[in-house]
Structure 1
């Protein structure tokens, strides 16, 4: 079984991925953030570095999908290949950070890749307000994230909502996380796992 955690930067994906992996005995797969060789340069000069950064993410996520398809364990993944394309790459293209030639090449590559894989069994979407995202981003203190303009987070939020509502064809569980503290409050974490149990196992 393949579970994906979706959500904007700072929504709590990595934390929830870690906690659910421990709770259910699932195998976690994390997004390539800390060792992406382009990410710091990207936030300094988005237009210059958008295409190589997006291709790096696409390569990493497709490799993850191939490995997930070969394992018999249940895998929980921090961000999927689909939102990487339909949210982040689409946003870069709309903002003029990718030109038409690069975007068409990227989309052809993505479509060829995803012809050979299937949707996750469940995508858990962590929906969050921009103010909540900013608070989490400031709390974790990654230097390159502190330079992100609010407009960027707002655009990503709108694209996530559109992605979930209109573009993604797989099974989705949406969690509004502004008032959830599943990391520190066991009742909130229990609320999340009850929702997951109901979706995956038909419990409750």
Structure 2
């Protein structure tokens, strides 16, 4: 079993839920992003162009500080699971920043990323945009009320393109449309696929019904 696992994917796909469930099951330390700490986020969703740079820079520095803190606390001495890859900073910036803003952002990102730990396994969660929009509405976070379908379509495209060419670590791609990670059977299936992915390098799990243990594996 890998020592450091990262779960990634777009807003509303179930990253934090899965990380918490795996953390409980495997008695692992969890690294969870705290979106509420970003004071620019509500303004960003109201006016992205005006507030994008402040928002993305805050996330960049906040994520780096969190990664640095855990690395100093002997990250690999314990089984650790996180709900974001550091490259998430660059993915979001590619969508929201102007050319000049992105140039400055990339300079800072390049310096910081040298000291960020690399995971042993990445789990990429994905789902169709209508499913993500419904989940966002159901959880009712105030700062997400302004998230629109166009933004989510762009975000899922960015994630899909990135992970389509991803080769840095073993990668397990999971369609969460019909997979309920609150169910133990779904977690057991996922653990089996995680182990297989460490051997094969790349696998996919696609649920085809509401039954958490049903699906097609490849």
Q: Please, what is the CA RMSD of the aligned residues?
A: 1.8
The aligned residue for residue 163 of structure 2 is 164
The aligned residue for residue 186 of structure 2 is 188
Q: Which residues in structure 2 correspond to 1:105-144 (within 5 Å)?
A: 105-144=104-143
The answer to whether residue 81 in structure 2 is matched with residue 76 in structure 1 is yes
- Structure 1 or 2: more helix by fraction: 1
The aligned residue for residue 197 of structure 1 is 195
Q: Aligned pair count? A: 195
Partner Cα distance (1:136, 1:187) in 2: 22
Cα offset for 1:140?
Answer: 0.4
Structure 1, residues 151-195: CA drift from partner, whole Å, max 9, x if none?
100010011011112256232111111110112x32222211221
Single out whichever of 189-198 and 74-83 deviates more from structure 2: 189-198
| 5+ residue gaps, structure 1 | 93-97
Partner Cα distance (1:167, 1:80) in 2: 12
SS of equivalent residue, structure 2 residue 37: coil
Partner Cα distance (2:148, 2:116) in 1: 35
Q: Contact 1:68 / 1:75 at 8 angstroms: preserved in 2?
A: no
Q: Which residues in structure 2 correspond to 1:9-48 (within 5 Å)?
A: 9-48=11-50
Give the TM-score of the pair, scaled to structure 2. Answer: 0.83
SS of equivalent residue, structure 1 residue 81: coil
The aligned residue for residue 65 of structure 2 is 63
The aligned residue for residue 93 of structure 2 is 89
Partner Cα distance (1:118, 1:78) in 2: 14
Structure 1, residues 2-50: CA drift from partner, whole Å, max 9, x if none?
2111010000001001001111111111112122111111111111111
Q: Contact 2:127 / 2:176 at 8 angstroms: preserved in 1?
A: yes
Q: Contact 1:32 / 1:60 at 8 angstroms: preserved in 2?
A: no
| 5+ residue gaps, structure 2 | 201-218
Cα offset for 1:58?
Answer: 0.7
The aligned residue for residue 95 of structure 1 is none
Single out whichever of 154-163 and 98-107 deviates more from structure 2: 98-107
